[in-house]
Amino acid sequence: MHLPFWLTTALLFPVLLYQGKRARRITPRLPEAGGSPFGQYGEGTPARRVLVVGESTAAGVGVETHDQGLASQLARQVHEHTGQTIAWHTFGINGIRLGALVGELETAELPAADVVLLSMGVNDTTGFTPRYRFRRQLRELRQLLAPRYPGPLLLLSVPPMHLFTALPSPLRYVMGWRARQLDNLYVRLARRNPGDFVHLHYPVITDPDLLASDGYHPGGRGYQYIAGALAGTVISEQLFSGENRAN
């Protein structure tokens, strides 16, 4: 089924290898965000709690502090829409792949949460993680989190890497092709196992002013934009209903 992709990759391999090495060399490597990885919007005991886990977007790459990042901005948007006090926490590691993240989460001290969002896929795309392995690791992650987080795991779709202008062509288009393959895997898992997974579409960022200085990661306004696009879906899917609240 994916033979055209692998044939194309094989034919272009020398070019892709050169472009990949050059992109890593010339692209600024931004640090993870600093500051507290948790907080809340509103007063008193939180009515709902948001946890984001994953790679660079969960680690807040592109902004200076975590309160400018995805988890914080999503909690703020939900707070503004609902009037509820919303707590947030983020756990991310820049450059990590899904299998390594599962290993990290086995020993991580994570807080209680009502909604857990996974932001992954870019590093598994660039690392060509086999789809069967990526699928297995997603199920392992779901099993690992299920005892504490009974609600479905929200899968933020793999970013549309064919639009990452910081990457040269044809590398950009091959990476975009692979990213869509992994994202289609998300879609199928969510369709077949709606109690375990929910797919959330990653909003396309076309405005360069929403990107960080590396032209690759979201900046502060970019995280606001993504959170604003996700908040309505999260609320409309009733993912903040009391039935999904963790004990």
108 lies in which domain range? 38-244
Q: What is the pTM of this model?
A: 0.91
Domain assignment present for residue 79? The answer is yes
> Are 91 and 157 in contact, with CB atoms under 8 Å apart?
no
Q: Extract the tokens encoding 244.
A: 């999904």
Confidence category of residue 46, pLDDT binned at 50, 70, 90: very high
Return the sign of the alpha-carbon dihedral for residues 158, 162, 166, 171: positive
Q: How much is the pLDDT for 238?
A: 52
Confidence category of residue 243, pLDDT binned at 50, 70, 90: very low
* Alpha carbon 119 to chain centroid, angstroms: 1
Q: How much is the pLDDT for 30?
A: 93
Residue 208 DSSP one-character state: G
* Helix or strand (DSSP H, E) at 153: strand 153-156
User: Using CA atoms, how far apart are residues 115 and 79, in angstroms rounded to an integer?
Assistant: 14
Q: How much is the pLDDT for 29?
A: 86
Domain assignment present for residue 178? The answer is yes
C-alpha distance from residue 193 to each of 154, 180, 185, 200 (Å) = 12, 20, 12, 14
Find, among 124, 225, 167, 174, the residue nearest to 9 by Cα: 174
Confidence category of residue 245, pLDDT binned at 50, 70, 90: very low
Tens of pLDDT along 171-202?
999 999 999 999 999 999 999 999 999 999 98
Across the strands, what pairs with 53?
Answer: 91, 118
- Centre a 10 Å sphere on the Cβ of residue 232 and count the other Cβ atoms it contains: 12
Domain assignment present for residue 126? The answer is yes
Domain assignment present for residue 116? The answer is yes
Mean pLDDT in the chain?
90
Q: How many domains does the chain have?
A: 1
Characterize the bridge pairing of strands 115-119 and 197-200: unpaired
CATH number, domain at 173?
3.40.50.1110
Domain assignment present for residue 11? The answer is no
Domain assignment present for residue 225? The answer is yes
Domain assignment present for residue 209? The answer is yes
Collapsing DSSP states into helix, strand and coil, what is residue 182?
A: helix
Residue 247, pLDDT above cutoff 50 = no
Per-residue pLDDT, averaged over 97-104, amounts to 97
Domain assignment present for residue 27? The answer is no
